[in-house]
Amino acid sequence: MQGTLDGFSYGAVTPVAAYVMACLGGALGLRCVTRSLRNNHAWKPGWLALGAASIGCGIWTMHFIAMIGFQVEESRIRYDVGLTILSLAVAIVVVGLGVFAVGYRGASRRALFLSGTFTGLGVAAMHYIGMAAIRLDGSLKYEALTVALSVLIAVIAATAALWAAVSIRGFVASLGASLVMGVAVSGMHYTGMAAVSVHLHNTTGGTAGVGDSAHSLLLPMLIGPVVFLVLAAVVVMFDPLLVLGDSDWSRPAARRRAPAPPTEPPAHSGSLFEAPGDTSRHTYSQGPSPSHKW
């Protein structure tokens, strides 16, 4: 028996919240990667790692917020804890590999193609590992062509995000790129969900296997990545170079740090503290000193 799927059981709340989290993770990640390009010293790996973790957490949070709205009317849904955590680790690691590759090798076509392909496949793997964590009284089936389309969207989205990370400098431009990235990531998720069908084992409304419900597992698990994204946002907001526009960043460092021009030295007043023998600026208001009589 085929199950009746509902991917929007809470209406527009879950897709909108999921999209916002994808955009937030993308925006923070892009700004951190951009910041790393201006720092070739010890902090560069740190900025790249923060950017990768932000993008990975944003993608993972988007996925599982959207999954809170996913229901099968004839069966309760539970989630395997280990696979759910593994999907988060996969998201961060594969995005990190792509980010570090373009962060150190630049935005050459070959580097972008390889990094974007690998990262996109990793994002797709995160999605389907998360789907494999579902436990219900039935089995999930996938339509091959729709799955392939979702993977292609993931690869394109990852490549575009990595290109934006190393090519876009201005804050407004990065914000626009993160909005597009949010659309792509959300599109990949819902395309993948469109490929799903459920074959139920019985109609008693039970659950097969063990696991935690969406509310008891996903909501507490989402707290950690969301808090991390908020803290990353604080780091971004308190680093001026992360919110400056390209026109300000493009100024040479020498011009940005040039000291103020020296002012004219004040005229010497003939004080007792003047250097001995410096009479070039002495002015006298009296005539020759009178002769002294002994």
pLDDT tens-place string over residues 248-279: 444 443 444 444 455 555 554 444 434 444 44
Asked if the structure places residue 117 within a domain, the reply is yes
Q: Does residue 161 carry a pLDDT above 70?
A: yes
Asked if the structure places residue 238 within a domain, the reply is yes
Asked if the structure places residue 36 within a domain, the reply is yes
pLDDT, residue 229, reads: 87
Asked if the structure places residue 272 within a domain, the reply is no
Nearest CA among 122, 106, 112 for reference residue 154: 122
Q: Does residue 100 carry a pLDDT above 50?
A: yes
pTM, full prediction: 0.75
SS3 of 293, please? coil
pLDDT, residue 59, reads: 92
Asked if the structure places residue 280 within a domain, the reply is no
Whole-angstrom Cα distance, residue 45 to residue 6? 42
Asked if the structure places residue 156 within a domain, the reply is yes
pLDDT, residue 37, reads: 74
Whole-angstrom Cα distance, residue 96 to residue 119? 8
Query: By the 8 A CB rule, do 95 and 138 touch?
Result: no
Domain count across the chain: 1
Query: By the 8 A CB rule, do 197 and 71 touch?
Result: no
Asked if the structure places residue 138 within a domain, the reply is yes
pLDDT, residue 272, reads: 40
Whole-angstrom Cα distance, residue 186 to residue 73? 23
Domain that holds residue 127: 5-249
For 121, residues 6+ apart whose C-beta sits below 8 A from its C-beta are 94, 151, 154, 155
Whole-angstrom Cα distance, residue 67 to residue 195? 14
Asked if the structure places residue 26 within a domain, the reply is yes
